[in-house]
Structure 1
Amino acid sequence: MSEDRSVLSREARDPDEELRYGDHPDQVIDYWHAKEYRPLVVYVHGGFWRPEYDRMHARPLGEALSDLGWPVLSLEYRREPGDPDVTTSDIRTALDSLPGLVDVHAGYVLVGHSAGGQLVLWAAATLNPVRLRGVIALAPVADLLMADRMGLDDGAVQDFIGSGVRNDLDPVHLPPSIAPVSVIHGTADTRVPITITESYFTAHPTARFIRVEGAGHYELIDPLTDAWHDLTAELTRLTGHQT
Structure 2
Amino acid sequence: MHTYAIGDIHGHLDKLKAVHDLIADDMARNGNAPVVHVGDFEDRGPDSRGVIDFLIAGQARGEDWITLRGNHDRMFAGFLQSPDSTDAGLRSDLSYLHYKIGGGETLASYGVKSAADRPLRKVHPEAVAAVPPEHRAFLAGLQNWWQRDQAIFVHAGIRPGIAMEAQTETDLVWIRKDFLEDPRDHGALIVHGHTAIDQPRHYGNRLNIDSSVAYGGPLSAVVVEGRDAYRLIKGGRMPIRPETA
After TM superposition, the score normalised by the length of structure 1 is 0.35
Return the structure number with greater relative CO, CA threshold 8 A, min gap 6: 2
After TM superposition, the score normalised by the length of structure 2 is 0.35
Which structure has the greater CA radius of gyration? 2
